[in-house]
Amino acid sequence: MNDLKSFCRMLSDESGKIIKQYFRTEINIETKKDESPVTIADKKSEEIMRELIMKEFPEHGIIGEEFGKHNEHAEYKWILDPIDGTKSFITGALTFGTLIALTKNNKPVLGVINQPILNEFLIGDNETAELNGTKVKVRECENISQATLLASDHYMVGNFQNFEKFEQLAKQVKLYRNWGDCFGYYLLSTGFADIMLDPIMNLWDLAALIPIVKGAGGEITDWQGNDAATGTSTIAANKKLHAAVVKLLN
């Protein structure tokens, strides 16, 4: 596992070099079929990660946001989101990161959130989570009324989940902010937030988050409390809050 973690670090470093070259520069922004933005930084950083994976582990599969599937039925697969939070990236905000997951038989066993501008490398293996080599843990918050809630694009909740119940939760917590994408899960896993929600997710958005949140002592499922790895949404929190949040939202 340590060799795989070192390889994840190398993937993060190499993709990060590319992202740094384009951050806060004038770059062309394309629009994908789903209306989401994409840049040359997204494409080139995924390309280098795919190249390195195929050289080191030719038998492994790859699923990436920008270039799709390769050997998708392999026992081991790498799930890549080169820039999670492209909207943040193109506006010069620091709340984006590179997501890297390794799955075995479709179960995430390693996850990375790399923030190349901040030089912060967060990795989890379902048992532990480390930020730049130092172990991190979710915060111990027992009551929703004392919790900090984060969510990505709350206006999307009504399109995919129950917005009224989401509003009830947002009114009950101590603090609510829209710091979304991987940055929210980074804050949760390092003890600076208590609940993080996403009403709609793709595999490359969520696979890396699972080993990190669990490794930090938290719980992560889909919006209905089912296995996050097979879902299309997420609720992440410490174990004391998670069940209460799922119940309140459903």
Quote the pLDDT of residue 179: 79
pLDDT of 75-104, one tens digit each? 999 999 999 999 999 999 999 999 999 999
The residues of the chain scoring below 70 in pLDDT are none
pTM listed for this prediction: 0.96
244's CB contacts (< 8 A; 6+ apart) are: 144
Task: Give the SS3 label for residue 113.
Answer: strand
Could you give the strand order of the β-sheet that contains 175-177, starting from the edge strand earlier in sequence?
Answer: 175-177, 148-151, 195-198, 234-238, 218-221
Domains of the chain listed by start with CATH number: 2-135 (3.30.540.10), 144-249 (3.40.190.80)
Give the residue from 119, 250, 241, 110 showing the smallest Cα distance to 188.
241
Quote the pLDDT of residue 67: 94
Give the residue from 198, 96, 203, 185 showing the smallest Cα distance to 154.
198
| H or E segment and range at residue 41 | helix 40-56
Percent helix, percent strand, percent coil in the chain, to nearest 5 = 40, 25, 35
pLDDT of 164-193, one tens digit each? 999 999 999 999 998 778 999 999 999 999
Quote the pLDDT of residue 35: 73
Q: How far apart are CA 166 and CA 158, in angstroms?
A: 9
Q: How far apart are CA 99 and CA 212, in angstroms?
A: 11
